């Protein structure tokens, strides 16, 4: 006769219940099998091997939770966002990173036209110079988002496709890539399509490694910005003051036009924008709002828009700009 304690019986019951309600493997789903068929037809993958990869994948609620937008978008605060990145510890670590990798940063600036301070700032905002590169398996995270996050499923299916192609190119197991919850890889947090499109072997060791080679990360960020239209020597943004209400010729009308630079500063006076001192370059009016505080406004020029191609947020681009300026000011 086997005697089991009440605690053990409860544990066994819980395990049985969990098994009975466990979600099926992704490899058993029709939509995943359809994706596999597409990969076989378009890229010559072997169906059995792909299905084996998906049979290992499992639903991860942490991924879906992390990708959700804030419950109250109106509570976003530019001041709080900026303070997360433009702060003493990140500046100090950025200065150390700049000193240790000065030669690579100078080479990237000379060949791509992207200032070293901008590259350093992006790596600081993205991963605190490699300290926080993600704890998820990129394959599992992207599988979750591609098949269980309808609002952006198309984007993440493309990234899942790119990850499989990247792994084949690099002769790696797709499960070997660690990433953020969104599948972003390495120090610069490149999505797989960006790794394939813009990553470079900047340290010339015969392989691209954005997770372990700061030099590869530096060269890759510089290439990404350059190929998205960075213009060396041009301003990024210019602080302005605005006045006027919500009328057809008001700052609100300019903001509604979006962040792509489209109007010269000389045009903006009629919209209540004081552009004193701004270079005469195509610009967009950027609003950086903080609840219960006056909104900060900047004219965003081409290079500001280019930074938003890295992360499509005006808060992000403004924080990169401000961290870069703080790093420049603190350098000996």
Residues 75-137+177-230+305-332, CATH architecture = Orthogonal Bundle (1.10)
Q: Count of residues for the chain? A: 332
Query: 83 — phi, psi (to 5°)?
Result: -65, -20
Active site residue 170: no
Backbone angles phi, psi at 219, to 5 degrees: -65, -35
* Predicted pLDDT of residue 24: 73
Whole-structure pTM value: 0.90
pLDDT of residue 194: 98
pLDDT digits (tens), the chain, 332 positions: 334 444 444 444 444 444 434 567 899 999 999 999 999 999 999 999 999 999 999 999 999 999 998 777 667 899 999 999 999 999 999 999 999 999 999 999 999 999 999 999 999 999 999 999 999 999 999 999 999 999 999 999 999 999 999 999 999 999 999 999 999 999 999 999 999 999 999 999 999 999 999 999 999 999 999 999 999 999 999 999 998 665 567 889 999 999 999 999 999 988 999 999 999 999 999 999 999 999 999 999 999 999 999 999 999 999 999 999 999 999 98
Task: Mark out the alpha helices in the chain (DSSP H runs).
Answer: 6-21, 30-43, 47-56, 61-67, 78-85, 88-100, 102-112, 116-127, 138-148, 153-170, 192-198, 214-227, 251-256, 265-268, 302-310, 314-330
Could you give the CA distance from residue 124 to residue 188 in angstroms, rounded to a whole number?
9
Q: Of the listed 38, 41, 109, 126, which one is catalytic?
A: 126
Give pLDDT, residue 144: 98
| In the chain, domain spans | 75-137+177-230+305-332, 237-300
In 3D space, the residue among 188, 184, 173, 193 whose CA is nearest the CA of residue 53 turns out to be 173
Q: So what's the pLDDT on residue 182?
A: 97
């Amino acid at each position: 006769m086997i005697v089991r304690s009440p605690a053990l019986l409860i544990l066994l019951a819980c395990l049985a219940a969990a098994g009975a309600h466990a979600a099926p493997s992704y490899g058993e789903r029709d939509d995943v099998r359809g994706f596999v068929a597409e990969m076989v037809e378009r890229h010559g993958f072997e169906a059995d091997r792909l299905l084996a990869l998906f049979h290992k994948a499992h639903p991860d609620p942490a991924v879906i939770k992390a990708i959700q937008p804030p419950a109250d978008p109106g509570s976003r605060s530019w001041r709080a966002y900026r303070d997360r990145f433009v702060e003493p510890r990140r500046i100090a670590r950025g200065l150390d990173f700049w000193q240790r990798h000065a030669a690579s940063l100078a080479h990237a600036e000379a060949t791509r036209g992207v200032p070293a301070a901008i590259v350093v700032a992006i790596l600081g905002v993205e991963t605190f110079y490699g300290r926080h590169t993600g704890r998820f398996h990129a394959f599992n995270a992207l599988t979750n988002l591609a098949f269980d996050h309808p609002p952006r499923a198309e984007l993440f299916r493309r990234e899942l496709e790119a990850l499989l192609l990247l792994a084949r190119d690099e002769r790696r197991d797709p499960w070997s890539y660690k990433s953020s919850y969104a599948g972003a890889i390495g120090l610069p947090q490149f999505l797989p399509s960006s790794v394939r499109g813009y990553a470079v072997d900047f340290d010339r060791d015969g392989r691209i490694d954005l997770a372990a080679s700061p030099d590869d990360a530096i060269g890759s960020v510089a290439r990404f910005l350059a190929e998205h239209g960075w213009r060396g020597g041009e301003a990024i943004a210019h602080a302005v003051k605005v006045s006027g209400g919500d009328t057809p010729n008001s700052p609100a009308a300019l903001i509604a036009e979006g962040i792509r630079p489209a109007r010269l500063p000389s045009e903006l006076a009629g919209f209540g924008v004081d552009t004193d001192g701004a270079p005469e370059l195509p610009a967009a009016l950027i609003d950086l709002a903080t609840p219960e505080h006056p909104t900060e406004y900047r004219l965003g020029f081409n290079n500001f828009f280019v930074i938003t191609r890295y992360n499509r947020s005006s808060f992000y681009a403004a924080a990169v700009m401000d961290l870069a300026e703080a790093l420049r000011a603190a350098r000996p």
